[in-house]
Each structure stands twice: as structure tokens, then as C-alpha cells.
Amino acid sequence: MDLEYTPEQQSFRAEARAFLEAHVPKNLPPLDTPEGFPLHVEWEQLLFDNRWAVVDWPEKYGGRDCSLLEWLIFEEEYYRAGGPQRATQNGIFLLGPTLLKFGSEEQKDRILTKMARAEELWCQGWSEPGAGSDLAALTSRADKVDGGFKLYGAKTWSTRGTFSHKTFGLFRTDPESERHRGLTYFLVDLQAEGIGVRPINKLDGDEGFAEVYLDGVFVPDRDVLGEVGKGWNVAMATTGPERGLTLRSPGRFLAMADRLVALAKDRPDACDDRIRDRVADHWMKAEAFRQLGLWTDRRIAAGEDVGAESSVMKLHWSHLDIDLHETALEILGPDAESEMKNGAWMKSYLFGLANPIWGGTSEIQRNIVAERILGLPRK
């Protein structure tokens, strides 16, 4: 056990900190708004130009070939500096790793750099009106035609769908198939003919969702990711890391816990012992997530299979985030109501309330923990 960062890791941290402290934009309007989105994209481009957009990616796609540990360090620094939400996140954290694993060289060369540079923004197209938690119940289909496929159906709750250029998701290519067989993973251009995009406002009023309609949209063969009919396996690789460290790194919650401590310091009269206990409890749980991240990093390095344990993490931070915000709102009292600017407490509370729903609900995560980690019977 050696809990000191190496001199290289320390200088990596220092370099990230210096860049972020000098450049993180302050007071941006919210990401999911017509005013805020382009400013967030500009910021992504600045990150990319300085090779901070995708530190863990190969150099040829704009990364630094960093280890998971260095990525965790970068994330701590990013949120410590007050960095805004990542406009590129569905691309760089979800599709990107899947492409690196399953994509052809041609696809990687064509897609990854543009994704990282925020030139092409991606949204996810999994959910359908009739298929939420039960994703395998999806009915959108793709019919084989000359040189590609024609796609039909509807995808919904596509985060930032109205601001995105492309989407990725599963379509049924074998009409005889059932459930998770006969599905194919497609990369779809949202500007293509036959696409309709309808914005949907989220709980906080921003235009964060879209419903995407597909009526005979042509997708060329080269935009199939992985094998035709094997889309489920490819998709599971996309949702895997999403549930663990990578989409919500410990750094976020450490920064949030520090903000909460600062709020409690600022408003001692609003903090009785019960509130102070809760502040300490949230801080400890954020710290525990940081330590679990470092522990998991070593387990991965030792070749252990930690796949399903990402559900433990998602359950932990999903609820920590909400509890922490509820304590902040209680400290703020009547002032909480108007905390609606980007990043302010009420605004980010409404954002966090979705944690136990997206990316596999908490009920689904508990099923995964019980069945895949603990080995309890499915039926």
C-alpha cells in the first residue's frame, strides 16, 4: 500500500490545475439551453486544443494516453476548479470507449477526433416509448437495403438530442428475432432525411431531452458498429462504464461536498447538530467514493473483474448526490427557491434527481448487485 502520488502524477495534477484555474469559464448559462450550449462547446474546443478533452484516449485522437488513475486525478481537478458540465459527455464517455473497443480503424479515424473536438456532438438513442428499463423490448427496426439499412421507429429521452449532430442506438435487424437477439448497433446522422427531432423540457425547464423519429432513414453499412445482429453485446459495453467511475467520477462529489462544507461555514445559524452531522456524513461518503475509485483502479490493474460493481458505485453516488443537495436546500431555507442559475443548489438538485432513473434505475442496479455480484436467483 502506497498512498502517495508519484512525482509524475503530482506534476500531472499541477499541470491540469494550472490550466483549469486559468481557463475554466465562470457563470455560463445552463448547458441545455440555446444560449448555454454553444458556450459549452467553445469550452470543449479549448480543452481539446490543449489536449485536456480526453486525457485517457490515444494521442492520435487528441488524448494523452493517460491511465485510469490519471484520469481520476484530472476529474478531481476539473470539478475542483468549477468546470462546467461536459457538452461532449455522451460521446466521449459512452460511445468513445465502445468505438475504441469495437470500431474499425476507419470508423475510429473518421469519428473520434471530431467527437473529442466537439465538432460532432452525439446523443444516445436507447430508450423508446415502450422500452425503458426493459431495453430489449425495443421495436425500432432497420431493414436491409442496397449499401446500408433503412431505419424506422422512435427513440425518446435522448439527452441533448436537439443540440446533437448524431445519435447511436439499437435497432432490430432480424424481424424474426426476440428480445436481445437480432439487434444491431447503428451510428445515425441526425441531419439525414426522414429524421424528426422534437424537444422535450426536463424537470428544470431546460430543453434537455428530445424524441427522435425515424421514418426510412438511410444509414450506410459503414455506420454499423460491431457485427450485424450482435448489437446487444456492443451496447452492454457502452452502458458498462457509464454505471461506474467514468460518467460520474468521484471528483464531482468531492467538489460538491466541499461546497456544502463551505455553505455550512457561511451559515452557522442554519446548522444545528443534526445538519452538521449530515454535512459530515455526505463529506465522508464522497471521500469513500474517492477511495473506492482508487481501490477499484488497483483491482482493475490486477486483472480482477469489477464489471457489475459499477452498480454499487452508481447506487452510491446517485443517492449521495440527492441527499447532499437536500441538506444544502435545508441550510438555505427560503433562499433555496431562487437558486436557479447554472450550478446553483436548486438547479443542480433538480438535475441530480434524475440519477436514480437514467442509465439503469436504482431498482435495476439493485437487481444487478443481487444477481450478478451476490448470486441470488433471477427467478
Partner 1 sequence: MRFGFSEDQKLFQATLAELLTDECHHEALAAAWETDAGWVPGLWEKLAAMGVTGMSVPEEHGGIGLDDTDLVLLLEEAGRAACPEPLAETVAIATPLLAEVGGAHADTWLPKIAGGEARAAIGLERERFVADAAAADLLILQRGDALHAVPASSVKTAARDSVDGARRLYAVEWTPSADTLLADGDTGHALGNRVANRAALAAAAQLVGLGSELIRLTVEYAKGRVQFGQPIGAFQAVKHHIANAYTQLELARPTVYWASNSVAKNTDSIDLDVSTAKALASDAAHACFRAALQCHGAIAYTYEYQAHMWMKRVLVLREAYGSSAWHRRRAARSLIDG
Ligand X SMILES: Cc1cc2nc3c(=O)[nH]c(=O)nc-3n(C[C@H](O)[C@H](O)[C@H](O)COP(=O)(O)OP(=O)(O)OC[C@H]3O[C@@H](n4cnc5c(N)ncnc54)[C@H](O)[C@@H]3O)c2cc1C
C-alpha 262 chain-centroid distance? 27
User: What binding mask, one character per residue, do residues 259-288 give for ligand X by CB under 6 A, x or -?
Assistant: ------------------------------
Q: How many CB atoms lie within 10 A of CB 107?
A: 16
Residues of span 3-32 touching partner 1 by CB under 8 A = 3-6, 9
Closest separation between CB of residue 212 and ligand X, Å?
Answer: 9
Indicate the residue whose CB is closest to ligand X. Answer: 132
Positive/negative CA dihedral, 71, 73, 76, 77: negative
Integer CA distances (angstroms), 228 to 107, 155, 195, 348, in order? 15, 20, 22, 40
Residues of span 111-170 touching ligand X by CB under 6 A = 123-127, 132-133, 157-159
Positive/negative CA dihedral, 300, 245, 90, 88: negative
CB 155 within 8 A of CB 127: yes
Question: How far, in Å, CA of 229 to CA of 237, rounded?
Answer: 15
Q: Which one of partner 1, ligand X, none interacts with residue 299, CB within 5 to 8 A by kind?
A: partner 1
- 160 φψ region: left (φ > 0), alpha (ψ -120 to 50), beta (else): left
Question: How far, in Å, CA of 197 to CA of 149, rounded?
Answer: 20
Nearer to ligand X, 264 or 315 (CB): 315
Interface with partner 1, residue 315, by CB under 8 A: yes
Could you tell me which residues come within 8 angstroms of residue 245 by beta carbon, excluding any fewer than 6 positions away? 68, 72, 293, 296, 310, 313
User: What binding mask, one character per residue, do residues 292-321 give for ligand X by CB under 6 A, x or -?
Assistant: ------------------------------
Active site residue 242: yes
Stretch that binds partner 1, among 156-164, 207-215, 257-265, 321-329 (CB under 8 A): 257-265
Task: From the candidates 42, 242, 326, 371, give the one annotated as an active-site residue.
Answer: 242
Nearer to ligand X, 238 or 249 (CB): 238
Which three cell numbers mark 373?
A: 455480484
Closest separation between CB of residue 278 and ligand X, Å?
Answer: 25
Question: How far, in Å, CA of 366 to CA of 368, rounded?
Answer: 5
CB 320 within 8 A of CB 289: yes
Residues of span 344-363 touching ligand X by CB under 6 A = 354, 357-358, 361, 363
Question: How far, in Å, CA of 140 to CA of 135, rounded?
Answer: 11
Catalytic residue positions?
A: 242
User: Which positions touch partner 1 (CB under 8 A)?
Assistant: 1-6, 9, 69, 261, 264-265, 268, 271, 273, 276-277, 279-281, 283-285, 287-289, 291-292, 294-295, 297-299, 302, 309, 312, 315-316, 363, 365-367, 369-371, 373-379
User: Which positions touch ligand X (CB under 6 A)?
Assistant: 123-127, 132-133, 157-159, 354, 357-358, 361, 363-364, 367
